[in-house]
């Protein structure tokens, strides 16, 4: 199990060090700094093994977090845990930054004490932690409050406390979808899938049990299979073909297995209810057509056409196109018909932003890139 | 540098919280950079004096401020041990925040200041008796974290107490404390295992996860402790917290490997497997097929796999991966692929997790190609991937390549070659090579492609291609003269040593195919010999020697020249090699005795046919490690890695896992539905009765819980006891059990030890009595269900006894001792157990008073067997649903039972025995039959409330005084509803309200066209108890019904566009009923 947890800034200075087990010596902190943070190799795997001690690290915005162990652990669990720690910290004091960590390390120390016991991860749910690890812990709680916390820490429904009351009971639901597309240079779609998530904001009183269902393809697929050969997609109703999904811990997985309905007691406030993936029948919102022409040895012309595929009645907003450029780009000339385009040398890319709301059926951008010839233009 | 903390309330100067504690020397510079913090003005020499003062003050906020600063120092790794005495004093502080910080400090420094640390121990001992479970738990946590060997006995006692605590949270902490104590003092192992055993028996989800963690740490070899808990763990698995799930699944994987036989022994046909489209098989129909195909799977093994499967939907990647590895290591081959989809999903996760998942997939893919083949495209590399991710994806792509998919893969690889990432390009070229040698069909295409890469502008690409081609040519002994010639030409241009060496080797090996070119190349190389890299030089020598043997006329002198050059090389390897070669080719004493034996054989030595290299996945050898573990990832054995045992040839006795008598008997009874039903029953059985959470899910029954728990306790206590006790009355059991438990805890403790501790313990035990009394008082007035109070009592009384004092005391106390397992329910849980949903549907029916119950038109005469005459020695019971409302309660379906005595003897006193008490299901008995003479038949009626579920209802039939038979009453979905009559208008109105999720539609074409839809009515009515709605339109048929218990409306309508095609629509609030009904209707109309 996890033997210790360290947090460093980008220079390798230790911000937090917490050792849970004796087999991790105090010098492990330095070993990681010297071998990973200061060794500036380009490629490195997130797990480093130094002298039979394994360091799992993640890096977020100039902050390194490393978990150390000498034991055989479940690698995915360690990473999941560290990501959770970061989540928890973010919900306590916002962005993860050196400044914030320094200002809050008493709190962090307390948190680490609570969520990791002898290297075993414990309840990491922010909602629960917030009830008994408070930043201004000075105010002493009344008897009832204490009892309430107690029941929550020990309770089965760890993500919701009892006795929540709202004058208006409201529940907001957002569906966010990410389309992922991989295209060959010839313009052929190699793979495309949609990764979506359902985010909820709940302001409900008491312990409500909510039910949630999706346009029944899931049910149909599970039940009607084998009985009929007909394709449910042809029945005329719009169906959601969900490949697979995962849920927040509040969803009763056993119920989903048997009844295919998503039933849950929601945590208070904002949370992510489910994630899903679909791969079939994806209609892409845009088509991006790049045309690349080499003009001489030091010049290249790239023309990008962006076509929208959705209905005229819909709006496309905050569209951003990133066009990567070779490392040795020296100058870029842009001709942009719609929106704004800018070459960002730090990102090695041209960023083209279309901020207007109404999106016409077609538009394009033309640009010319020049290269400096410090290194020969090879390919 | 550090921003000032918020401490305006303190009386101190406005200095930052963290600055005064700096040691004077090293930090001077840092302080100077931050003058605003006031660091300049703090006199360094007085160091921690102000902190001490603050700690000594009697204001809580001052203390807290001081503690915060001290913890700040600790967190940054600064020395703060000289404050120890001042800090420890505050351990008694009433302020919980201060207390917490003192605890943190104590854990860090106790080891260094053992004597002082001991001062704080008594505080903890007091805190262990605190009425607040949070304080009890944190006291135990800190106490067990203090690493001072002197307090081992105290911690041991504390753990034992806490393990029997009422609060699951405290028990959980006790479980965590076990490995801590174990690491402090290994001698305590035996005693700890006993505590652990108790904790493993716990049925609270909160506790079991931690108990298994402790088990894994302390005694992973004691697999026998798991037997009795196996089924419980499986059923609780879904509800345990995510971290616990990971650990439990890991442990169960090992358990499964040691307890069940290899499911893949009688090999399922792999071909058939690969033909099946398998992204669609997550439904039950398919599953049943699979079960049929692998009938030998132990029911417990099946239970494990089944209960782990829902976890594939977990949010936590670690849980998903654990399930994946469980399936990989233990599931029958035909089922492993179910996890593939979930693993693919994880690829969308964070980069670090992605890395782990890809490593696992890469290792799996070497053995199970079919599993990931449909997801091939998910492994296509994106330009935004990190290099190590790209390499892993390449690895997977090559492993997955088959004859059919290799085309797509090669096209991808071709694109990758043009990428900008050198290591990735090299890997892509190697991947092409691997595809080429693995799949014979594409070898030539690949070779051509690689050759064309030889004219690439990029040196690195050319070099890599050369190396790969060299390997490929070896596997292809057929002449590729053209390619060799082309490569020989490259010697002039290629500069990468590895590539040059490869070309030279090729020329030497196949010199007879290019007799003219090889000597010429050697000539060139001899010229540039001195400026070559070592690896090239070695190959030049090899080439020279080989040519010298095949073509001595042209090259003998050249060869001598090269060897001569090598003789004076700087590298000793080269010199060695030259000397060695020279002796074989040009023996020094040639003039004396002609060719030596070695030189005669030289040709055989150097030109022997060499086996071609077999390109293999780097991941092949990772098979030996458990998937997803650290060892697997780094491909070396990490500390504490436990190898997965191979499957046993002969499964150990499965009886070891039997916990209660009930499921065991059920399995013996060969019901009609045989295996599948019984295994299913196992799982539902547990989930219905055990965890309090489940009960709250069931949400209908709360009154039944008490009985449940009693049963549970009795049952589990009975297996603790010896088997012969099983027949005894339960009250007897309860008294007997404690004796056993106490004895076992008392035994290992030696008498001397006890004497030492005695005085101490007496104090604390007397304290605990008084404490627990007060606790009792506090809990009673609150509105706790009676049962809980009753349970609470024995638990409290047990506290003094759990501490072994002397054997005499033990004997005296015997009567008071409670069962080893404390009640699961605590007052705090009460809130969750209260039923949550008021039957809203009842309200609904009142809204529509026009809905009248109607009598069934048809009563089906299909009978099913409830009890087989062979099992019961002669009594046969058949049942048939009459569709008439049961007199006892309208929510019950009445079934007509036919009893027939086939046996030779008269059967007396036939009645219902044990009835189900969970899930809202209830049974109204048939009138007991006093006697049934041989050959005669009798009828009876039983009423069953199925609670709107189609789960079979299990109960017992008793005959006479000693014969008991478990039976299962299965109900078709058509019988859990009751026909109602309503107007067409109302029907449509109701239907309008049940759209969306509540609507199920199916299309169907009839085998023979029917002119009148009405003719189908009878068919439908035999299947389901529906009431016909009169309507005018001849192309539609409408039926209505209500579910029996919750009175939810069920609406069925049939619509035919022509005479052949039908559309069936079922609208029902209960989605399960709706979808099951439609399946059934379709089945009946189809034939």
Q: CATH number of the domain at A75, please.
A: 3.30.450.60
pLDDT range class, residue B827, cuts 50, 70, 90: very low
Structure tokens at A221: 């697929």
Average of per-residue pLDDT across B406-434: 85
Question: How far is it between the farthest Cα atoms of chain A?
Answer: 80
3-state secondary structure A30-43: HHHHHHHHCCCCCC
Q: What is the pLDDT of residues B894-908, one digit of tens each?
A: 888 888 888 777 777
Residue A291 and residue A257 share a domain: no
Taking contacts as CB-CB distances below 8 angstroms, the residues of chain B near A219 are 1000, 1071, 1075
Q: Which of A46, A124, A259 lies nearest to residue B1072, judging by beta carbons?
A: A259
For residue B1025, pLDDT beyond 80: yes
Residue A213 and residue A107 share a domain: no
Q: Which of B348, B633, B1004 lies nearest to residue A47, judging by beta carbons?
A: B633
Provide the CA B263 distance to its chain's centre, in angstroms. Answer: 19
Domain coverage including residue A38: 4-154
Average of per-residue pLDDT across A294-319: 75
Taking contacts as CB-CB distances below 8 angstroms, the residues of chain A near B638 are 52, 54, 70-73
Do A154 and B629 lie within an 8 Å CB cutoff? no
Average of per-residue pLDDT across B637-647: 78
Neighbours of A339 (CB within 10 A): 16
Kindly state whether residue A161 falls inside one of the protein's structural domains: no
For residue A358, pLDDT beyond 70: no
Q: What is the pLDDT of residues B215-249, one digit of tens each?
A: 988 888 888 888 888 888 888 888 888 888 999 99
Residue A212 and residue A189 share a domain: yes
pLDDT range class, residue B750, cuts 50, 70, 90: very low
Q: How large a percentage of chain B has pLDDT more than 70?
A: 71
Kindly state whether residue A164 falls inside one of the protein's structural domains: no
Per-residue model confidence (pLDDT) at position B940: 81
Average of per-residue pLDDT across B460-488: 79
Q: Hey, which bits of B402-468 come out as E strands? A: none
Residue A271 and residue A292 share a domain: no
pLDDT range class, residue B7, cuts 50, 70, 90: very low
**Helices B168-184 and B152-163, interaxial angle, to 10°?**
150
Do A253 and B311 lie within an 8 Å CB cutoff? yes
Q: What is the pLDDT of residues A173-223, one digit of tens each?
A: 898 888 888 777 777 777 788 888 888 888 888 888 888 776 654 444 544
Q: Which of A57-66, A261-270, A346-355 has the highest mean pLDDT?
A: A57-66
Residue A267 and residue A364 share a domain: no
3-state secondary structure A336-358: ECCCEEEEEHHHCEEEEEECCCC
Q: pTM, whole model, 2 decimals?
A: 0.62
Per-residue model confidence (pLDDT) at position B589: 59
Residue A298 and residue A341 share a domain: yes
Average of per-residue pLDDT across B360-383: 83
Q: Which chain B residue has the Cα nearest residue A42?
A: B387
Q: How large a percentage of chain B has pLDDT more than 90?
A: 0
Per-residue model confidence (pLDDT) at position A135: 53
Taking contacts as CB-CB distances below 8 angstroms, the residues of chain B near A82 are 352
For residue B321, pLDDT beyond 50: yes
B60 touches chain A (CB under 8 A): yes
Kindly state whether residue A168 falls inside one of the protein's structural domains: no
Per-residue model confidence (pLDDT) at position B593: 55
Kindly state whether residue A162 falls inside one of the protein's structural domains: no
B836 touches chain A (CB under 8 A): yes
Residue A111 and residue A80 share a domain: yes
Ranking B326-330, B444-448, B812-816 by mean pLDDT, the lowest is: B812-816
Domain boundary among A278, A305, A320: A278
Q: What is the CATH number of the domain that holds A239?
A: 2.60.40.1170
Q: Which of A16, A219, A277 lies nearest to residue B1071, judging by beta carbons?
A: A219
Residue A256 and residue A190 share a domain: yes
Kindly state whether residue A50 falls inside one of the protein's structural domains: yes
Mutate: best of A18, A30, A74, partner B, most B CBs <10 A: A74
Kindly state whether residue A379 falls inside one of the protein's structural domains: no
Query: How far lies B349's CA from each of A80, B345, B357, B675, in Å?
Result: 10, 8, 9, 40
**In the predicted model, what is the mean pLDDT of chain B?**
71
Task: Measure the N-to-C terminal CA separation of chain A; round to a whole number of Å.
Answer: 49
Q: What is the pLDDT of residues A7-50, one digit of tens each?
A: 888 888 888 888 888 788 778 888 888 888 887 665 567 888 88
Average of per-residue pLDDT across B85-109: 80
Whole-angstrom distance, CA of residue B730 vs CA of residue B714 = 7
Q: What is the pLDDT of residues B983-1023, one digit of tens each?
A: 888 888 888 777 777 788 888 777 766 666 677 777 788 88
> At a CB cut-off of 8 Å and minimum separation 6, what does B1034 contact?
B1012, B1013, B1014
Kindly state whether residue A338 falls inside one of the protein's structural domains: yes
Residue A267 and residue A360 share a domain: no
Residue A14 and residue A141 share a domain: yes
Q: What is the pLDDT of residues B249-282, one digit of tens each?
A: 988 988 888 888 887 775 544 444 444 443 444 4
DSSP H helices, B627-673, are 630-634, 661-668
Residue A361 and residue A268 share a domain: no
Following DSSP, what letter does each residue of A14-28 receive, concatenated?
A: EEEEEE-STTS-TTH
For residue B780, pLDDT beyond 60: no
Do B832 and A221 lie within an 8 Å CB cutoff? no
For residue B435, pLDDT beyond 80: yes
Structure tokens at B578: 């030259």
Taking contacts as CB-CB distances below 8 angstroms, the residues of chain B near A60 are none
For residue A365, pLDDT beyond 60: no
Relative to beta strand B852-853, strand B1027-1028 is: unpaired
Q: Which chain B residue has the Cα nearest residue A277?
A: B345
Whether B832 contacts A155, CB under 8 Å: yes
pLDDT range class, residue B330, cuts 50, 70, 90: confident
Q: Which of A190, A220, A246 lies nearest to residue B380, judging by beta carbons?
A: A190
Domain boundary among A229, A248, A278: A278
Measured in angstroms, the CA of B758 and the nearest CA of chain A are apart by 30
**In the predicted model, what is the mean pLDDT of chain A?**
74
Nearest partner of A256 among A279, A248, A175, A278, judged by Cα: A248
Per-residue model confidence (pLDDT) at position B595: 62
Whole-angstrom distance, CA of residue B1016 vs CA of residue B1084 = 10
Kindly state whether residue A165 falls inside one of the protein's structural domains: no
pLDDT range class, residue B456, cuts 50, 70, 90: confident
SS3 call for B406: helix
Residue bearing the bigger pLDDT, A319 or B293: A319
Residue A238 and residue A101 share a domain: no
Domain boundary among A278, A301, A332: A278
For residue B665, pLDDT beyond 70: no
Structure tokens at A282: 């994806």
User: Could you report the predicted ipTM of this complex, rounded to two decimals?
Assistant: 0.77
Measured in angstroms, the CA of B563 and the nearest CA of chain A are apart by 40
For residue A271, pLDDT beyond 70: yes
Domain count of chain A? 3
Q: From the CA atom positions of chain A, what is the Rg in Å?
A: 26
Per-residue model confidence (pLDDT) at position B925: 79
pLDDT range class, residue A67, cuts 50, 70, 90: very high
Do A74 and B687 lie within an 8 Å CB cutoff? no
Following DSSP, what letter does each residue of B232-296 receive, concatenated?
A: HHHHHGGGS-HHHHHHHHHHHHHHHHHHS--TTSS---HHHHHHS-GGG--SHHHHHHHHHHSTT
Q: What is the pLDDT of residues B500-521, one digit of tens each?
A: 888 888 888 888 777 888 888 8
Do A80 and B317 lie within an 8 Å CB cutoff? yes
């Amino acid at each position: 199990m996890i033997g210790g947890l360290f947090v460093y800034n980008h220079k390798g200075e230790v911000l937090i060090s917490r050792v849970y087990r004796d087999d991790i010596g105090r010098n492990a902190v330095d070993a990681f700094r010297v071998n990973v943070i200061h060794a500036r190799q380009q490629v490195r795997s997130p797990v480093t093994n130094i002298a039979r001690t394994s360091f799992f690290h993640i890096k977020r915005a100039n902050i390194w977090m490393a978990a150390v162990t000498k034991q055989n652990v479940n690698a995915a669990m360690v990473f999941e845990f560290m990501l959770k720690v970061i989540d928890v910290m973010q919900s306590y004091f916002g962005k993860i930054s050196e400044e914030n960590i320094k200002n809050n390390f008493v709190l962090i120390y307390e948190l680490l004490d609570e969520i990791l016991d002898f290297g075993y991860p414990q309840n990491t749910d922010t909602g629960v932690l917030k009830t008994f690890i408070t930043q201004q812990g000075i105010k002493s709680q009344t008897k009832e409050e204490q009892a309430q916390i107690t029941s929550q820490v020990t309770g089965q429904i760890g993500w919701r406390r009892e006795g929540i009351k709202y004058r208006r009971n409201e529940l907001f639901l957002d569906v966010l979808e990410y389309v992922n597309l991989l295209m060959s240079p010839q313009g052929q779609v190699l793979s495309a899938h949609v990764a979506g998530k359902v985010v909820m904001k709940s302001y409900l009183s008491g312990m409500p049990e909510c039910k949630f269902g999706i346009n029944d393809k899931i049910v149909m697929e599970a039940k009607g299979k084998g009985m009929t050969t007909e394709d449910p997609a042809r029945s005329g109703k719009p169906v959601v073909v969900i490949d697979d999904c995962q849920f927040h811990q509040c969803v009763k997985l056993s119920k989903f297995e048997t009844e295919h309905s998503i039933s849950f007691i929601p945590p208070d406030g904002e949370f992510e209810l489910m994630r899903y993936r679909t791969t079939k029948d994806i209609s892409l919102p845009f088509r991006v057509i790049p045309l690349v022409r080499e003009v001489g040895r030091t010049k290249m012309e790239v023309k990008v056409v962006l076509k929208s595929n959705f209905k005229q009645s819909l709006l496309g907003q905050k569209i951003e196109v990133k066009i990567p450029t070779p490392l040795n780009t020296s100058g870029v000339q842009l001709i942009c018909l719609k929106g704004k385009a800018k070459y960002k040398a730090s990102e090695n890319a041209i960023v083209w932003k279309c901020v207007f709301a109404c999106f016409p059926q077609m538009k394009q951008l033309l640009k010319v890139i020049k290269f400096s010839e410090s290194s020969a233009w090879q390919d | 540098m550090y921003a000032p903390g918020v401490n305006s309330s303190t009386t101190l100067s406005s200095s930052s919280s963290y600055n005064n504690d700096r040691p004077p020397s090293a930090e001077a510079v840092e302080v100077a950079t931050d003058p605003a913090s006031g660091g300049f003005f703090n006199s360094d020499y007085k160091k921690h004096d102000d902190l001490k003062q603050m700690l000594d003050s009697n204001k809580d906020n001052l203390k807290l401020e001081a503690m915060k600063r001290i913890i700040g120092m600790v967190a940054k790794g600064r020395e703060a041990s000289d404050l120890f005495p001042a800090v420890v004093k505050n351990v008694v502080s009433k302020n919980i925040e201060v207390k917490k910080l003192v605890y943190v400090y104590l854990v860090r420094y106790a080891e260094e200041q053992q004597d002082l640390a001991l001062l704080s121990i008594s505080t903890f001992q007091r805190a262990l008796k605190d009425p607040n479970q949070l304080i009890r738990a944190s006291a135990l946590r800190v106490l067990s974290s203090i690493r001072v060997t002197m307090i081992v006995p105290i911690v041991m006692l504390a753990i034992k107490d806490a393990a029997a605590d009422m609060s699951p949270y405290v028990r959980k902490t006790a479980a965590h404390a076990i490995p801590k104590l174990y690491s402090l003092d290994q001698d305590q192992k035996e005693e700890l295992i006993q505590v652990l055993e108790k904790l493993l028996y716990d049925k609270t989800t909160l506790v079991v996860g931690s108990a298994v963690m402790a088990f894994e740490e302390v005694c992973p070899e004691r697999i026998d402790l798991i037997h009795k808990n196996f089924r419980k763990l499986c059923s609780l698995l879904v509800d345990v917290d995510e971290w616990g799930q990971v650990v439990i699944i890991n442990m169960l994987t090992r358990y499964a490997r040691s307890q069940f036989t290899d499911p893949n022994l009688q090999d399922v046909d792999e071909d058939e497997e690969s033909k099946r489209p398998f992204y669609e098989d997550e439904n039950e129909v398919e599953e049943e097929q699979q079960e049929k195909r692998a009938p030998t799977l132990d029911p417990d093994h099946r239970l494990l796999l089944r209960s782990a499967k829902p976890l594939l939907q977990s949010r936590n990647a670690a849980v998903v991966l654990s399930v994946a590895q469980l399936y990989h290591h233990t599931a029958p081959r035909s089922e492993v692929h179910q996890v593939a989809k979930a693993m693919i999903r994880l690829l969308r996760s964070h980069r670090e997790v992605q890395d782990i998942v890809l490593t696992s997939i890469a290792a799996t893919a070497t053995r199970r190609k079919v599993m990931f083949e449909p997801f091939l495209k998910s492994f296509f590399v994106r330009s935004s991937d990190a290099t190590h991710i790209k390499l892993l994806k390449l690895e997977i792509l090559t492993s997955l390549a088959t004859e059919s998919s290799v085309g797509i893969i090669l096209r991808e690889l071709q694109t990758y070659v043009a990428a900008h990432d050198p290591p990735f390009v090299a890997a892509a070229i190697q991947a092409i090579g691997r595809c080429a040698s693995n799949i014979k069909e594409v070898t030539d295409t690949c070779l051509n492609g690689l050759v064309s890469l030889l004219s690439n502008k990029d040196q690195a690409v050319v070099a890599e291609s050369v190396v790969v081609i060299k390997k490929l040519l070896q596997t292809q002994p057929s002449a590729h003269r053209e390619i060799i010639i082309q490569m020989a030409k490259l010697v002039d241009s290629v500069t990468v040593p590895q590539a040059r060496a490869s070309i030279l080797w090729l020329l030497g090996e196949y010199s007879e195919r290019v007799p003219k070119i090889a000597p010429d190349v050697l000539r060139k190389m001899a010229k540039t010999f001195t400026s070559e890299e070592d690896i090239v030089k070695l190959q030049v020598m090899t080439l020279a020697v080989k040519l010298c043997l095949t073509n001595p006329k042209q090259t003998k002198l050249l060869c001598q020249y090269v060897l001569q050059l090598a003789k004076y090389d700087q590298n000793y390897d080269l010199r060695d090699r030259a000397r060695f070669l020279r002796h074989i080719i040009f023996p020094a004493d040639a003039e004396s005795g002609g060719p030596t034996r070695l030189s005669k054989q030289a040709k055989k030595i150097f030109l022997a046919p060499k086996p071609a290299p077999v390109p293999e996945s780097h991941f092949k050898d990772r098979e030996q490690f458990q998937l997803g573990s650290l060892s697997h990832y780094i491909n070396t054995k990490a500390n504490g890695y436990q190898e997965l045992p191979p499957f046993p040839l002969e499964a150990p006795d499965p009886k070891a896992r039997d916990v209660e008598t009930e499921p065991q008997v059920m399995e013996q009874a060969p019901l009609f539905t045989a295996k599948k039903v019984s295994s299913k029953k196992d799982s539902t059985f547990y989930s219905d009765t055990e965890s309090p959470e489940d009960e709250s899910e069931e949400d209908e029954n709360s009154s039944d819980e008490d009985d449940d728990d009693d049963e549970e306790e009795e049952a589990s206590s009975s297996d603790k006891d010896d088997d012969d006790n099983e027949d005894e009355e339960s009250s007897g059991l309860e008294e007997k059990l404690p004796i056993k438990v106490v004895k076992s805890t008392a035994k290992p403790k030696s008498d001397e030890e006890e004497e030492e501790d005695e005085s101490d313990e007496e104090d604390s035990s007397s304290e605990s009595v008084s404490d627990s009394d007060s606790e009792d008082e506090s809990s009673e007035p609150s509105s706790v269900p009676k049962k809980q109070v009753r349970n609470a009592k024995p638990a409290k009384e047990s506290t003094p006894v759990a501490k072994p004092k002397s054997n005499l005391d033990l004997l005296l106390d015997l009567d008071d001792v409670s069962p080893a397992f404390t009640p699961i329910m605590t007052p705090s849980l009460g809130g969750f157990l209260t039923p949550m949903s008021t039957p809203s549907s009842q309200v609904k029916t009142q809204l529509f008073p026009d809905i009248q119950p109607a009598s069934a038109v048809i009563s089906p005469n299909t009978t099913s067997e409830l009890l087989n005459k062979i099992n019961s020695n002669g009594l046969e019971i058949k049942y048939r649903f009459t569709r008439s409302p049961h007199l006892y309660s309208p929510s019950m379906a009445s079934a007509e039972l036919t009893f027939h005595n086939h046996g030779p003897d008269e059967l007396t006193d036939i009645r219902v025995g044990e009835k189900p008490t969970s899930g809202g299901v209830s049974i109204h008995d048939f009138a007991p039959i006093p006697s049934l003479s041989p050959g005669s038949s009798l009828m009876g009626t039983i009423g069953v409330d199925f609670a709107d579920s189609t789960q079979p209802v299990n109960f017992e039939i008793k005959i006479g005084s000693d014969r008991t038979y478990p039976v299962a009453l299965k109900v078709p979905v058509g019988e859990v509803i009751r026909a109602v009559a309503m107007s067409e208008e109302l029907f449509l109105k109701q239907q309008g309200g049940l759209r969306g999720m509540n609507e199920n539609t199916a299309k169907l074409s009839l085998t023979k066209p029917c002119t009148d839809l009405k003719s189908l009515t009878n068919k439908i009515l035999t299947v389901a108890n529906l009431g016909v709605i009169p309507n005018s339109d001849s192309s539609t048929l409408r039926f209505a019904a209500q579910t029996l218990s919750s009175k939810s409306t069920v609406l069925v309508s049939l619509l035919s566009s022509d005479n052949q095609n039908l559309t069936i629509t079922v609208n029902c609030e209960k989605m399960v009923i709706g979808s099951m009904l439609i399946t059934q209707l379709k089945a009946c109309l189809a034939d």
